[in-house]
Amino acid sequence: MSAAELLAEHDRLFVTYARGLTAAKWQQPSLCESWNTHQVLAHLVVGYSMPPRKLVTAMAAHRGNFNCANAAVADRLASQHTPDELIGTFERLIGRPEGIGKAFPSRLLLGDHVLHHLDIALALGHPPSIPGHIVDAVLDTEVHIPNPFVPAKRNAGGLTLTATDTGWRFATRAGHRVEGEAIYLAAALAGRTCALRALSGDGVPRLERRITCRTDD
């Protein structure tokens, strides 16, 4: 399957998952610092659809800082629309991204969407059922493609990673071992410290230092 097909498959599953959450769940904290689950949902819609002109305006207001601009736009969208409205918009965009969503490669969008799905689900204590071939594709992207927003490739350096449920594996010469279910490997490589508790191996302390202290150890 192509990355675009995997993205569409995941996003349809996410819509089904999101529609099952109660109003109270949408107000609970996510794994994204300072964002609740409603705001993470808004961020996904922003990344799928924000007009480039709106992004330029937001970045100008935040002195060129993309992360701050992106966060501000997502916060505003969450304040203006209910989760149900945002889910409807997200569903409409599946396979038909708009604005900056057209510019992002499908592989990177897939990683962003899966990780934010995990940010919501893991924070709520409900590990999601994401097909292994989708998570494996995200792991492949994390360890092979540099991402200016998520330093997963750097975090994977010198580690031998094994997904105990899907069989996915990434080996390096140093070979410090980290293993666990694929969703927790993907989340940990992307900097979600809570996922470390689900992993094992002599490389876990090294990975933890990298994502908590941002070192190259």
Q: What span, in angstroms and rounded, lies between the C-alpha atoms of 90 and 37? A: 15
pLDDT tens digits along 110-165:
999 999 999 999 999 988 889 999 999 999 999 999 887 889 999 999 999 999 99
Q: Which of 72, 96, 123 is the last residue of a domain?
A: 123
Q: Are residues 94 and 154 in the same domain?
A: no
Residue 30: strand, helix, or coil: coil
Mark whether 76 and 116 lie in a shared domain.
yes
Question: In total, how many domains does the chain have?
Answer: 2
181 and 76 together in one domain: no
Instruction: Tell me: do 39 and 101 sit in the same domain.
Output: yes
Other Cβ atoms within 10 Å of 157 Cβ, number: 16
Token code pair at residue 66: 């993309």
Interaxial angle between packed helices 106-123 and 182-189, expressed in degrees from 0 to 180 and rounded to the nearest 10: 100
Q: ∠ CA 168-170-175 to the nearest 5 degrees?
A: 135
Phi, psi of 124 (to 5 degrees): -85, -5
What is the reported pLDDT for 169? 97
Q: In what order do the strands lie in the sheet with 159-163?
A: 169-170, 159-163, 176-180
On whether both 10 and 116 belong to a single domain, the answer is: yes
- Decide if 50 contacts 89 (C-beta within 8 A): no
Instruction: Express each pLDDT in 43-64 by its tens digit.
Output: 999 989 877 777 667 667 666 6
Cβ-Cβ contacts under 8 Å for 201 (sequence gap 6 or more): 176, 177, 178, 179
Query: Are both 15 and 103 inside the same structural domain?
Result: yes
- On whether both 91 and 111 belong to a single domain, the answer is yes
Of 178, 170, 213, 175, the closest CA to residue 196 belongs to: 178
Same domain, 92 and 137: no
Residue 141 domain boundaries: 132-213
Reply yes or no on whether the pLDDT at 216 is more than 70.
Answer: no
- Alpha carbon of 66 to those of 11, 102, 149, 150, 158: distances in Å? 24, 17, 10, 13, 30
**195 and 93 together in one domain:** no
Q: Within this chain, do residues 119 and 19 fall inside the same structural domain, yes or no?
A: yes
Final residue before a domain boundary, out of 123, 155, 177: 123
Same domain, 158 and 94: no
Of 92, 123, 154, the position where a domain reaches its end is 123
Answer left, alpha or beta for residue 86, where phi above 0 means left and psi between -120 and 50 means alpha: alpha
pLDDT grade for 214, boundaries at 50, 70 and 90: low
Return the beta strands (E) in the chain as ranges.
159-163, 169-170, 176-180
For residues 11 and 111, the answer to whether their CB atoms sit within 8 Å is no
Residues 10 and 117 in one domain: yes
CATH number of the domain bearing residue 186: 3.30.1050
Give, in degrees to the nearest 5, the angle at Cα 35 between 20 and 41.
Answer: 40
pLDDT digits (tens, 9 = 90+) for 8-40: 999 999 999 999 999 999 999 999 878 999 999
| Cβ-based neighbours of 79, under 8 Å, separated by 6 or more | none
